[in-house]
Amino acid sequence: MEPAAHETSIPQNRPSQNRGRTAAPAKHDKY
């Protein structure tokens, strides 16, 4: 549930993180 809460706050700014959050959430954090 932790990744979901932090991903929900980013999707608005980076929709690409949605598909990368499963592969490498840390890498998308930089994107």
Mean pLDDT, to the nearest integer, of 16-31? Answer: 55
- Mean pLDDT, residues 10-30 taken together: 55
pLDDT score for 11: 53
- Specify the pLDDT at position 26: 58
Q: What is the mean pLDDT of residues 8-25?
A: 55
pLDDT of amino acid 4: 54
Residues 8-29 have a mean pLDDT of 55
Q: Is 25 exposed, middle or buried (0-12, 13-18, 19+ CB in 10 A)?
A: middle
Whole-number pLDDT of residue 7? 52
